[in-house]
Amino acid sequence: MSREKPEVENNLGPATHSKMNLITALLRLLAFLATLSATLVMALNKQTKTVTVATIGTVPVNATLTANFQHTPAFVFFVIANANASLHNLLMLAVTFVGRPKYKFKGFAPLAIPLLDMANVAIVSGGASAAGFMGQLGRDGNSHAKWNKICDKFETFCDRSGGAIIASFAGLTLMIIICSISIAKLRNHA
């Protein structure tokens, strides 16, 4: 005498499915805004300062120095990664509101969105981590390598960079939650 296990229904009801789509869309909108603000703040971040580098007799020798995101490859990667994530989330919002009601995705298509989400999580994670490392190096320097800190000279640049990095990590956290929801939807889709 064998007992059969009852099948568990994995499909969500229409009300729950629409709530999940709404929550995902809201999270995507917040992630879009976070990564877009990180992109814009870092891309527009520039500070110019005139400092005295030497004194000849009684005449100071001044040099004009500029801190710009383009001077550090990690910050350039940060801007590109966050811009890419912003575009991805904007396109996924468009697919959510325009594409999904008209088309039933079959085959590989349901897997494409979570895979793209995970790729963007990896890219933004790398960009935010690299920028965070460079920010810490700019704030504290590295006495072993004889690298001086610069945040004592370019306070505004460093403060804005720090804000952009925080916004990027907030967007990254939201995108990880979106990935989890997308994977859960896949499980329920099967």
Q: C-alpha distances in angstroms, 97 versus 28, 73, 84?
A: 12, 36, 20
Pick the range with the lowest mean pLDDT from 69-78, 110-119, 138-147, 181-190: 181-190
At 107, the pLDDT band (50, 70, 90 cuts) reads: low
- Kindly state the percentage of the chain with pLDDT values over 90: 47
* Span 123-136, average pLDDT: 95
Pick the range with the lowest mean pLDDT from 15-24, 36-45, 134-143, 149-158: 15-24
User: What's the pLDDT tens digit per position in 92-106?
Assistant: 898 877 755 455 556
- Kindly state the percentage of the chain with pLDDT values over 70: 83
Per DSSP, the residues of 10-65 read -PPPHHHHHHHHHHHHHHHHHHHHHHHHHHHHHHT-EEEEEEEEEEETTEEEEEEE
| Contact call for residues 31 and 178 (beta carbons, < 8 A) | yes
> Bridge-partner residues for 56, per DSSP?
59
| Contact call for residues 11 and 184 (beta carbons, < 8 A) | no
Amino acid 14 reads P
Pick the range with the lowest mean pLDDT from 3-12, 42-51, 76-85, 122-131: 3-12
> Bridge-partner residues for 165, per DSSP?
none
Q: C-alpha distances in angstroms, 168 versus 23, 37, 145, 161?
A: 20, 8, 28, 10
Residue 7 has a pLDDT of 47
Smallest CA-to-CA distance from 132 within 103, 111, 160, 162 is with 162
User: What span, in angstroms and rounded, lies between the C-alpha atoms of 60 and 172?
Assistant: 47
Res 9 pLDDT > 70: no
